[in-house]
Amino acid sequence: MPTVREIVEEQVREGELYEKLDRNRVRCYACGHCCPIPDGQPGVCKVRFNRGGTLYVPWGYVGGVQCDPIEKKPFFHAYPGALAYSFGMLGCDLHCAYCQNWVTSQALRDPNAISQPLEASPEELVRDALGQGARVLVSTYNEPLITAEWAVAILKEAKAAGLITGFVSNGNGTPQVLEYLRPWLDLYKVDLKSFDDRHYRQLGGRLQPILDTIRRLHGMGLWVEIVTLLIPGFNDREDELRGMTDFLASVSPDIPWHVTAYHKDYKMTDPDNTRPEDLLRAIEIGKQAGLRYVYAGNLAGRVGNLEDTRCHNCATTLIKRYSYAIKDYRITPDGSCPDCGLAVPGRWASKFDGQITSRPFLPHRAAGLFTIADRR
């Protein structure tokens, strides 16, 4: 059975997001690290590597697939109720100690992170997505920017089949990778983890590329939603939350901001779990900054009406939720409030078709996707 490292080294193709430097070195532009990579070495993400002066990147497999309600991404202002066919890859450009997807994201760094990739073609994945009833296809779970070329091959196929496409990302982008993705992407969720550069350096990144990415994505016209996992003692200082929400409101007060509850995971087990009152305090700061659509996540039923979408103008409830389930939907076919007529920012279907599921499920046995080990 091939090891994950062997798969990562064999299932590759020459990348497009790089330039050749002197002495057989290359510079990769798929994420904000912009690694200069010597011959024979991988980049920080461990899945892109330089062999003989050529940058090789992942191709032809996925770390896993899952059918999620789009609310789980979370996108609350994009096709509510839609099934989001979700695929992940391996590796990450950051190494967050609290990662909730560490089995795939840290597969090349942590010997405890064992996963079995599935061999897949864009056609197989899109056929499966359509067969499951998906309306949206999303690259998620690990950091999708580091596999941008392979993602685009799948996104192109998805768009040709009429699917909406999305990225769930840490936002550590570059102008090059965002321009490369732009024609093929509709939705982009950025995980804004902190507003303190020292915290980002603890996670293996920097704050500024993430802020630049958020502003650039919004300027490009993609639909952007932001998530902050609120971790007591790490990113919940009042001045940090004020800085973060002032920044988001300066990009657009219509960007939805999801503040979600942390629970002890992976290597970060010191902070207490986030309480409902912690989320409510952060939400209040977001509202004071001028953000119009703020949501509390991961504590279903314990945060009042902060899972619901309300009209910014007349405060009527437009979408009622419990966790990922849509309980009521009142947005008009043209995307407006039925009471006052205000256009609600987002991407709306002309009608709400209900939900195939409000819980994630695994489709791959039905899909005919096999682990690479099985296929050999």
What are the residues binding ligand SF4 (CB under 6 A)?
28, 30-31, 33-35, 43-45, 48, 93, 146
Write down the least CB distance from residue 48 to ligand SF4, Å. 4
CA distance 224 to 166: 10
Write down the least CB distance from residue 151 to ligand SF4, Å. 12
Q: Which residues contact 179 (CB under 8 A, 6 or more apart)?
A: none
- Nearer to ligand SF4 (CB atom), residue 84 or residue 99: 99
Q: How far is CA 92 from CA 27, 43, 144, 186, 302, in A?
A: 17, 10, 8, 22, 32
The residue sitting closest to ligand SF4, measured at its beta carbon, is 43
Farthest CA pair distance, the chain: 66
- Nearer to ligand SF4 (CB atom), residue 47 or residue 138: 47
Q: Which residues contact 145 (CB under 8 A, 6 or more apart)?
A: 30, 31, 93, 167, 169, 170, 172, 173, 177
Write down the least CB distance from residue 174 to ligand SF4, Å. 8
- Nearer to ligand SF4 (CB atom), residue 30 or residue 129: 30
3-state secondary structure of 227: strand
- Nearer to ligand SF4 (CB atom), residue 56 or residue 61: 56
- Nearer to ligand SF4 (CB atom), residue 80 or residue 144: 144
Write down the least CB distance from residue 169 to ligand SF4, Å. 12
Write down the least CB distance from residue 165 to ligand SF4, Å. 20
Residue 258 pairs with which residues in a beta bridge?
Answer: 227, 295
Q: Is 208 exposed, middle or buried (0-12, 13-18, 19+ CB in 10 A)?
A: exposed
Amino acid residing at 264: K
Write down the least CB distance from residue 34 to ligand SF4, Å. 5
How many residues would you count in the chain? 376
- Nearer to ligand SF4 (CB atom), residue 33 or residue 292: 33
